[in-house]
Chain A
Amino acid sequence: MFTFGYHVKRALVGVRSRPWAQVLTLGSVALAMVLVGSVLLIAQNLSRLTDDWGSGATVAVDLAEAVPPADVARIRQALKETPGVRRVTWVSPAQAKSRLLRGLGPDARLVAEVDESFLPASFEVVLGGDRSTVLAAQRRMTRMAKVVPGVESVRTVETWFHRLGRLVTGIRMAGLGLGLLVLFACGYIIMSTVRLRFVDRRQELQIMRLMGATERFIRTPFLMEGALLGLVGAALATGMLYGLFLLLGSRIHSLFGTSVSVSKLGFLPLSQVAYGLGVGALCGLLGSWFATRSGADA
């Protein structure tokens, strides 16, 4: 449209008047969005950091008593072929007893007399790969208990893994819920700001109506202004979040120790940033749409 440039000019004039209202609006919108962004960023990095925490996880596959050697060989083969399995080690009852004794330390006397045959033979399986692979491997092995002939029970650290997974999902959900809330808040803030100016310029708009301006013509610059506020607010939030990310990233060792590798940290993916900007603009558009509904200036 040829009047587009004219509307943009009008919208920019609008942005320039009452500069403090603009700054306040942008500030609150940006802060609210930083809040949501940081929750999502934490979930994201928690997930990334713990991705390889699955490697080195072990699963103990306890065998039943007196399993024929052929079955033992078959079980070993099945375990080895499971994706995510790095190493399968045979643990004889004697080895199991010595491990147990070592583990108990001073209390070892209590079990010193126990006969080796009371302890089951087992396979110690070392897993590797990312979390989902490890989880899948664990699930498969757990299902082997009592089903595969010769496998008595399977002991895993599954609970720990699941809890972490649930934590990440939970944080993501909280972030999205918070995001919805913040969206409403931002929409409301922008609505109030745009409404303020809509009322400020009531007389001018009334003159335009007298000259035959359609409501669309009258509202367009305000809608642009609202969308712009939302977009710039989201962009500011992205910038602030990135600054925060760099700051914390450089201090991550002093905060969490060297167990956290900086190279694993990452900012929100570009698609999510673009999504955030779009959502910000949309939220501003909706806010200003409500601020300039017909009759809103009466």
Chain B
Amino acid sequence: MIRLFGVSKGYPSRGPVLRRLDLHVARGEYLIICGASGAGKTTLMRIVTAAERPDAGQVMVAGRNLAKLKRSAIPYLRRNIGVIFQDFKLLGGSTVTENVALPLRICGIHGRTLRDRVEEVLELVGLEDKPFARCEELSGGEQQRVALARALASEPVILLADEPTGNLDPEATAQVLGLLDLARDRGLTVVLATHDPQVIGAGQADRVLEMTEGKLETRALRSGVWLERPEEPDTRGEREMSLIL
């Protein structure tokens, strides 16, 4: 679903952030990328959503080579990818429904279909009783669930979660992680970036990678099962095969 080959990215002010990084996320896989703050997790996510172009290397997302993607085609790529962030990025001054309806409107969905779908995802995240609440009036956990409902509304195939629990208390964190598990169970490819060890332990990820010095190293094949050394290449291949099959 997501493939990166030898991807490098740097900023003039910072120097290299990603160094010849390789990554393959299989369809339906739940992947956690951990790493200290400033390691480059967000940069990686931005490359996947074509918000940032790599300096070198190639990126394939949902069957598209991003280097060959025209500017005008980027929006259509992004409709396949749901994203949530640490700071929720909800529309200020808007209601829960307006936020969740936005990606549907962007896809040109309207009327009854739109209302039904909004209701459906709000129920999924447990906010069906607050459709007209203003986002500012909600708790952090509720806001993140609105963001998640919005990310899932237009049925994307990939869900990127960049430190989604960074601003949440343990209870809300558990709720959001539970919803990510649910998303994976529904067939989405989920990539979660975090620097919080508790998140890594609590989630039901298939694989945990750590970002250090601009590269990714496998830390666990199941959340909680830590590898002392980086995996053997063939082990990883097997794992991917089993996920594809």
Q: Which residues, 1 to 29 on A, are CB-close (under 8 Å) to B? A: 2-3, 6
Cα distance A208–B101 in the bound complex, in angstroms: 11
A207/B75 contact (C-beta < 8 A), A212-B106, A217-B106 known: no
Interface size class of B (residues with CB under 8 A): 20 to 34
A202-226 toward B: CB 8 Å interface, digit per residue (1/0)? 0110011111111101000000000
| B83 with A208: CB separation less than 8 A | no
Shortest distance between the CB of B185 and any CB in chain A (Å)? 23
Shortest distance between the CB of A295 and any CB in chain B (Å)? 10
Shortest distance between the CB of A216 and any CB in chain B (Å)? 9
Q: Which residues, 108 to 123 on B, are CB-close (under 8 Å) to A? A: 108, 110-111
| B108 with A3: CB separation less than 8 A | yes
| B106 with A208: CB separation less than 8 A | yes
| A210 with B108: CB separation less than 8 A | no
Cα distance A204–B91 in the bound complex, in angstroms: 6
Chain A: interface secondary structure?
Answer: helix
Chain B: CB-nearest residue to A6: B105
Chain B: CB-nearest residue to A10: B105
Shortest distance between the CB of A226 and any CB in chain B (Å)? 21
Partner among A2, A204, A211, A294 whose Cβ is within 8 Å of the Cβ of B111? A2
Task: Give the chain A neighbours of B77 by CB distance below 8 A.
Answer: 212
| B108 with A213: CB separation less than 8 A | no
| B51 with A207: CB separation less than 8 A | no
Interface size class of A (residues with CB under 8 A): 10 to 19
Task: Give the chain B neighbours of A207 by CB distance below 8 A.
Answer: 89, 91, 102
Cα distance A211–B105 in the bound complex, in angstroms: 10
Asked if B79 lies at the interface with its beta carbon under 8 angstroms from chain A, I say yes
Task: Give the chain B neighbours of A6 by CB distance below 8 A.
Answer: 105, 110
| A3 with B91: CB separation less than 8 A | no
Cα distance A2–B107 in the bound complex, in angstroms: 11
| A214 with B75: CB separation less than 8 A | yes
Partner among A203, A204, A209, A294 whose Cβ is within 8 Å of the Cβ of B75? A209
| A2 with B110: CB separation less than 8 A | yes
Partner among B72, B92, B103 whose Cβ is within 8 Å of the Cβ of A214? B72
Most buried by B among A211, A212, A294: A211
| B106 with A213: CB separation less than 8 A | yes
A211/B110 contact (C-beta < 8 A), A204-B91, A204-B92 known: no
Partner among B79, B91, B150 whose Cβ is within 8 Å of the Cβ of A212? B79
Q: Which residues on A are within 8 Å of B, measured CB to CB?
A: 2-3, 6, 203-204, 207-215, 217, 294
Q: A211-B103, A212-B154 are in contact. List 18 more A-B contacts (CB 8 A).
A: A2-B110, A2-B111, A6-B105, A203-B89, A207-B102, A208-B102, A208-B106, A209-B78, A210-B83, A211-B78, A211-B79, A211-B83, A211-B154, A212-B79, A212-B103, A212-B107, A215-B72, A294-B71
Q: Can you list 15 contacts pairing A with B, beta carbon distance less than 8 Å?
A: A2-B111, A6-B105, A203-B89, A203-B92, A207-B89, A209-B75, A209-B78, A210-B49, A210-B83, A210-B89, A211-B154, A212-B106, A213-B106, A215-B72, A217-B106
